[in-house]
Structure formats: C-alpha cells, structure tokens
Amino acid sequence: MEIWLGFLFLFLGAACGGSFGLPSKFVKKDTPWEVLWGPFFFFVTILLPVVVGPVLVDGFFSVYGRVEAAKLLPVLLFGFLWGLGSMTLGLSFAFIGLSLAYALNYGAQIITGSVLPMAIFSPQEIPKSHGIVILAGVAVLVAGVVVAARAALLKEASMKKDDAPQDAAAARKPKMLIGVTIGILSGVLCACYSMAWCFADDVGKVATSPPEFGNLPWQAEWAKAALILCGGVLSACGYCAFKLTKNKTWGHLFKPGIGRTLSLAFAMAVLHDAAIFLFGLGAFNLGDLGGSVGYAVFMTFAIMIGNVHGFRTGEWKGASRKSIRWIGAALVVLVIGVCVLAKGKAMKAVADDAAKKKTPDVSAPEPPQAKGG
C-alpha cells in the first residue's frame, strides 16, 4: 500500500464529491428540476452500478446470490433512505445553492453517520475515551451546521434589502429557511449510507472469499456500494417519476436539446459514483489510517471544493460581508469538527488493535460516512 497514492485518490474523490452538483448550474433556466435529476438518479442507481460492477468486481452478480435475502433487505432499506437523502440534496441545490447545501448536508451527514452506527452497533464505546472524543467532534460539527444555517438566513436578509421588489414568480420561490431545513434533512437521510454499509458487511465478506471470488477489499467496497445505490432506485427515481407525471414534464425528455441536459446529468452521476469509488481506493491504500485520517481529508476537501464552486458561480454575489464571514466561520468550524472526529476514530482504531492482541474476537466494522449525497 502506498500512502501517497491513498492521499491522491482521496483528493480526487473529494474533488468529485464536491463537484457533482456543479453541472446542474449549467442547465437552461427553464428546465424542470425532475428533467435533470430524474436521469441523474437513473444513471447513479441503475446504469453505473450495473455496468461498472462486473468490470470492477469478479463474479459481481453471483456475490449477491451467495448472501441470504434477509441480510440483503436491511441494506436495501437503508439504501432507500439514502436515496431520499440524495433526492432532497438535489432539491436543496435548487433552493439554496451549492455552497450552503454542501455545508449543511455534509455537516448533518457526518453528525448522524458518526453517532447512529455507534449508538446501535457499539453503544459500549460511547463512555470510553475515544467515544467521548468522537462525541466532542460531533458537538463541534453541530455548531458548524448552526453557523452555516445562520449564514444562510443572513444572506437571504441582505439580498432582499439590495434587490428590487420581487415579482410574483420570485415571491413564490421557497424561503431560505425551508431550503436550510431541506439541506439538513438531506444530510440526516444521506447518513443512512453508513447504516447500509454496516449491514452490507456480509456482501464484502463473500466478495473477498477465495477461491470462488477472492476480490481485493477495495473491489468488495464497490460490491457493497452498488447494492446500496440500487436501494435508492425506488425513493430517488420514484420521486422523480412522480414529479414528471404530476407536472406533465415527461415530454421534455424528448424535446430538441435534451441531449445537453442528459449529458450534464451523466457527468453529475459519474462524479457522484467516482467519489465513492475513489474514497474506497484511497482508504484501502492508507491502511489503518483510511477510516480516520482518510475520512477527515476526504470530507474536509469535499466541503471546501463545494463552497469554492458556490462562490465561483456567483451564489454569494450581492450578499453582505457579514453573511460571507459567517459561512467562512462555518467552514472553519466544520473542518475542526471533522479533525476532532478523525482523532476519535484514530483512538478507536488503536483500542481495537490492542483488543485484538488480547482476544481473537473481531469487532464490528467501522462504518464510513456517506459520500457526495
């Protein structure tokens, strides 16, 4: 394993995760939300997992046949909830922009994805030193999300003062508070990826078991990820199909110029799934550091890159300096929170290694956080 290669993959993955929403800024303004995001979710949850899976994983489809159906069901269930989270993240991009959506979603995602699996699978770890450090990191992240939400409300207030009187169409646009709520909710739901990953452990074990499969751990990661992504078909694709039917916008998928929209949706999907794949490669090459340092590096840079795109595309143009200072402070607090959380995870890894030397018992796997929505 090469550490420098691991960091390279993590940086590339973070660039993908923080950028997958960027192409949505370049669709025509009159394009209905579901006409872009419907194809995106089709590519993410069906096309790419099915097409890329057999290329990356030996015996891709056979792996799932070797796992009991009862053990696959929780993976699909939490994948369904992750799909709801990704769908609402797409809505939050439209409501409050990339910058705020990434800060709120990733912050809430890290918080929920850190606490929930530990509370369910290893509650005995909470009062230990590493558990306390993890909770401290979560507390800092909560503060970061609150600061980001405050920045959003200040931004809206300052831009209302500077803007001309709103017309009837503008008056119907969702309020910032609603967008903030959706952004935080999307992060909570996206964190269900972590729960799904925990329940998908049997898939990983089968995928790496010799002699029938014998995949490497990073290949097994994709077998697990593909199943989780497929779990989001009904929620994410289903909601888009509902919107297409309700708004009678199916016809837009056959209008001249739809090729551009589909190309943008496909680019978003490739970036989204590439973030998941590259994180797996990066964590694998970092070895024991993958779950702590690797995770911190990935999430920190994904948040930063998402915000850079938001500023570069003019989302904060006209906003007050005070609101910009608040979003800057939010990013700093979120980065600090991620680093504290990583320290707690590193302490847990050390404790787990010490326990393994004393007993042959293997503890439950450390769940990764959900990546890019």
Q: Give the angle subtended at the CA of 159 by the CAs of 265 and 309, to the nearest 5°.
A: 35
| Residue span of the structural domain in which 179 resides | 3-358
Report the pLDDT value the prediction gives residue 263, as an integer from 0 to 100: 97
Token reading at 238: 């289903």
Query: Does any domain span residue 79?
Result: yes
Report the distance separating Cα 92 and Cα 207, nearest Å: 36
Compute φ and ψ for 192, nearest 5 degrees. Answer: -65, -15
The answer to whether 167 and 173 have CB atoms below 8 angstroms apart is no
User: CA 195, 267, 264, 43 torsion: positive or negative?
Assistant: negative
Report the distance separating Cα 248 and Cα 244, nearest Å: 6
For the CA atoms of 272, 273, 278, 280, the dihedral, rounded to the nearest 10 degrees, stands at 120
Compute φ and ψ for 238, nearest 5 degrees. Answer: -60, -40
Q: What is the DSSP string of 111-169?
A: HHHHHHHHHHH-GGGTTSHHHHHHHHHHHHHHHHHHHHHHHHHHHHHHHHHHSPPP-HH
Measured in whole angstroms, the distance separating CA 257 from the mean position of its chain's CA atoms is: 30
Residues of the chain with pLDDT under 50: 167-173
How large is the C-alpha radius of gyration of the chain? Answer: 21
Peptide bond before residue 165 is cis, with ω within 30 degrees of 0: no
The number of beta carbons lying within 10 Å of the beta carbon of residue 355 is 12
Report the pLDDT value the prediction gives residue 168, as an integer from 0 to 100: 44
Query: Does any domain span residue 297?
Result: yes
Query: Does any domain span residue 373?
Result: no
Report the pLDDT value the prediction gives residue 172, as an integer from 0 to 100: 42
Contacts of 144 (CB under 8 A, 6+ apart): 103, 107, 330, 331, 333, 334, 336, 337
Query: Does any domain span residue 366?
Result: no
**Buried/exposed 123-143: b ≥16 CB within 10 Å, e otherwise:** eebeeeebbebbbebbebbeb
Report the distance separating Cα 195 and Cα 204, nearest Å: 14
Report the distance separating Cα 110 and Cα 277, nearest Å: 19
Token reading at 346: 């590193």
Q: How many domains does the chain have?
A: 1
Query: Does any domain span residue 369?
Result: no
Report the pLDDT value the prediction gives residue 299, as an integer from 0 to 100: 81
Query: Does any domain span residue 161?
Result: yes
Residue type, 52: V
Read off the pTM.
Answer: 0.83
Report the pLDDT value the prediction gives residue 158, as an integer from 0 to 100: 83
Compute φ and ψ for 28, nearest 5 degrees. Answer: -60, 145
Query: Does any domain span residue 86?
Result: yes
Q: What is the 3-state secondary structure (H, E, C) of 17-35?
A: HCCCCHHHHHCCCCCCHHH
The answer to whether 235 and 193 have CB atoms below 8 angstroms apart is no
Query: Does any domain span residue 262?
Result: yes
Report the distance separating Cα 244 and Cα 339, nearest Å: 42
